[in-house]
Amino acid sequence: MKVTRVIALVILSMLLSFVSKRSVQAVRQGSSKRMFSWRGGSAGFGAGSTGRSSSTIASAAATAAALSTNYEDLTVLSQYTIAVAYQPKDREESNLFKKKHNQPLPALESPTGEDNAFVAVHQDGSVAVGVADGVGGWADAGYDSSAISRELCATIKHQFSHDSQAQPKQLLETSFQAILESPKVEIGGTTACLGVISNRKLKVANLGDSWCGVFRNYQLVNETAFQTHKFNTPYQLAKIPAHILRQAELEGRRYIRDTPAQADVYEWDLQKDDVVLFATDGVTDNVVPKDIEIFLRDQLEDKKSDLGDVAKLFVKEVVKVSKDSNFPSAFAQELSTLTGQKYLGGKEDDITVVMVRIN
């Protein structure tokens, strides 16, 4: 049986009585976005999700321009080599967004979809890198669901350029506060996983289900934990206008609005030839650490491979299994555990990675 988000959420709603009848019908029709609001446990938008301002929506060209300033595909430094690779999932146009704003959904034009990444190099030799994954359900209501992850990454990069001594959690806090005050983001939710590397020490802050892992001699030695409220419902930073919150309260719904203070923090020592991987859940929903270990050994053991090529090949391979109906993906294994039934198949999603090799 092929795993899709559609089937997954329908089954879970039946098991846990988690979704209202109206929401189940929407899921069956193909709405399989991760959850970001509850009505006594059910997901969905209310009539209050209106009143959009087209002035806050970036054009597709502006979106691409903003992305290009957040990172280079390959950054080579004396102490680190950093590669960024990505592949957006296939997605359909949001008719509601196009009708409201008379332009395509920005996630369609973005090379990373609703994911985003950043690489920041400070003159003192330290670097900050990370990924963020916008919650796609906002696009169904006519909003730019890629804006918040894009602008969060850009803001963290800017903050780090001015203060390389800031801890990752502090960077997340100050940057998210800037997003709450910025007209560039109207509404949305995002996960975030970021790290600062200095003097062969890695400090990480993670909120949600994006991920960071450290591989030494091609074996995973450290990793972040996933933060989720329920299955397919990650912790997420959210910006939601007051009038929408008021409408939701009247309807007995509430949105998930986690804070940077809830982020987990980590600190790990690094060694020469360690590989640090930051990834959105498009990776970790499909492959497990053992798969990544085998891939890294195959590609990097000869010490001759270009890290940029390796990162791109890694994303290509993850995309391949995400579309394989017989692959025993991490998502399928978790769903099988929850339901007591056997499921197979990958889970299509935007896939973004930042790969760092310690020189």
Q: Is the pLDDT of residue 322 over 60?
A: yes
Burial class (CB in 10 A: 0-12, 13-18, 19+), 280: buried
The confidence score (pLDDT) of residue 9 equals: 41
Q: What does residue 308 show for φ and ψ, rounded to 5 degrees?
A: -65, -40
- The CA distance from 269 to 214, in Å, is 10
Domain that holds residue 255: 51-325+347-358
Cβ atoms of 217 and 150 within 8 Å: the answer is: no
Q: Is residue 93 part of a domain?
A: yes
Per-residue pLDDT of 71-107, as tens digits, reads: 889 999 999 999 999 999 998 876 666 667 777 777 8
pLDDT tens digits, one per residue of 106-154:
788 889 999 999 999 999 999 999 999 999 888 888 889 999 999 999 9
- 233's CB contacts (< 8 A; 6+ apart) are 34, 35, 36, 256
95, part of any domain:
yes
Average pLDDT value over all residues in the chain: 84
The verdict on residue 152 lying in a domain is yes
SS (H, E, C) 287-315: CCHHHHHHHHHHHHCCCCCCHHHHHHHHH
265 belongs to a structural domain: yes
Evaluate whether residue 91 is within a structural domain. Answer: yes
**Within-domain flag for 164:** yes
205: helix, strand or coil:
strand
How many structural domains are present in the chain? 1
Task: Tell me, yes or no, whether 171 lies in a domain.
Answer: yes
3-state SS class at 146: coil
- For position 77, which CATH number holds? 3.60.40.10
180 vs 275: CA distance, rounded Å: 34
Longest dimension (CA), the chain: 62
